[in-house]
Structure 1
Amino acid sequence: MTSHYFNPDPDTPHKTATIDLVLPDLHLTLTTDRGVFSPDRIDLGTRILLETAPPPPQHGTLLDIGCGYGPIALTMAKRAPDATVLGLDVNNRALALARTNATAHALTNTRFRHITPDATPTPDQEPDTPQLLTGPFAAIWSNPPIRVGKPILHTLLRTWLGRLAPGAHAHLVVHKNLGADSLQRWLDTNNHPATRIATRAGYRILRTTNNT
């Protein structure tokens, strides 16, 4: 049996591999496995987000919603070594890989936390992550898990976007064929007005700001 990448404990047989994330300013070799999101290559949407988003804040807590094996969270950690980066995911296999990849690159400013599909954090062995979860977050970068369905996706975004620091930005990447435009309309009508800052290969980069 195979599992979706948003299953907490995928039963897909393991087959680990390594892939390279090469950006103009960094090169990370990442361990991946079956049963996680985009295990064979860096997802194009993720790459476009990492090539498009402005530099992250250099201090505070930065958040990656749906971190998978870590390409977004680890890029933020590399670009903002004095910040703390929190990665959240429902998939325990992906979280284990993210921790492995952070250790491999000596990115000690990262924390990874399991959440349930309804966005509720679960107990974790990292002692300082409970305090990090409440925010406020200095930035959010995310390739959100669109395929979980709108109710769960909207709960995730409503929960975590609401914890942005005043004036802070979230950058989300979504393909137009997976509902980028409808998601932008939803954000606009749910107290998170969004601006499309880039379009490439069918992907939209949406930016929303906490203006409270």
Structure 2
Amino acid sequence: MSHYFTTDQSAHDYSEISFDFQGEVYRFKTDRGVFSKERVDYGTKTLLEGVVADSPGNPSSMIDMGAGYGPVGIVLGRVLKLEPVMVEVNEDAIALLHDNVDRNRVGARILDREEYDRSDISADLYVTNPPFRAGKDTVMSIIDDSHERLGDGGAFYMVVQKKQGMKSYKSAIERKFGNVSTVLKDKGYYVLKGIK
């Protein structure tokens, strides 16, 4: 029986998907066992639209927490002309991240969570489509981490569905940052923002 953290080559089922954002087509290699294997999910699309429409100034650095196979960091890296730090815990997703950064010609620093936790990385922009299935404590720890890693004036963006506890997370962001706003709401998805 395969363990979650081991790589079983026979279990791979690679696919390539395309994603059009603002007239530019991005191509991503995906695999069995990663979130939203068949298409870039609506929450990620909504997060990207919200961040870009909100125009977070001219950030020079960005953290993409829970990067998966890379759509958030890769798209924002290109649109905002910066080199994101992309953080992921799943080994298979990390391998896909390396491939997708190369195929979309975006410079990025890719770290597993342990490397990231040992680092002193900070950023102007912190973006996440958090792993809600990992539980509320995990999502709350991401909110806490964002506040620690952002510099003064830095912006935190998170997408959440109303049914995933949006009101609770909105309150948590307000407690941590002293402010919170909804920058986009679409089909039950909310893009929440906190400014440090």
Q: TM-score, normalised by structure 1?
A: 0.82
State the AA in 2 paired with 1:122: E
Distance, in Å, in 2 between the alignment partners of 1:57 and 1:105 is 24
Map of 2:97 onto structure 1: 98
Distance, in Å, in 2 between the alignment partners of 1:205 and 1:195 is 8
Map of 2:67 onto structure 1: 67
Q: Which moved more, 1:189-198 or 1:26-35?
A: 189-198
8 Å Cα contact 1:89-1:95 kept in structure 2: yes
The answer to whether the aligner puts 1:151 opposite 2:171 as a matched pair is no
Counting aligned pairs with the same residue, the percent is 25
Kindly indicate which of the two structures has a greater share of residues assigned to helix: 2
Match of 1:189 among 158, 175, 192: 175
Match of 1:16 among 1, 14, 17: 14
Distance, in Å, in 2 between the alignment partners of 1:85 and 1:100 is 15
State the AA in 2 paired with 1:103: D
3-state SS of paired residue (1:94)? helix
CA 23–122 in structure 1, closer or farther in 2 if over 3 Å, else same:
same
- Please tell me the root mean square deviation across aligned C-alpha atoms, in Å: 2.4
**Superposition deviation, residue 157 in structure 1:** 2.2
**Superposition deviation, residue 74 in structure 1:** 0.2
Residues 178-209 of structure 1: per-residue CA shift (max 9 Å, x gap): 11111111222234532112211100110001
CA 10–45 in structure 1, closer or farther in 2 if over 3 Å, else same:
farther
3-state SS of paired residue (1:190)? helix
Distance, in Å, in 2 between the alignment partners of 1:13 and 1:161 is 38
Structure 2 segments unaligned to the other structure (5+ residues): none
Structure 1 segments unaligned to the other structure (5+ residues): 116-120, 124-128
8 Å Cα contact 2:16-2:27 kept in structure 1: yes
Map of 1:118 onto structure 2: none
Distance, in Å, in 2 between the alignment partners of 1:59 and 1:208 is 15
Distance, in Å, in 1 between the alignment partners of 2:125 and 2:38 is 28
State the AA in 1 paired with 2:164: L
8 Å Cα contact 1:57-1:138 kept in structure 2: no
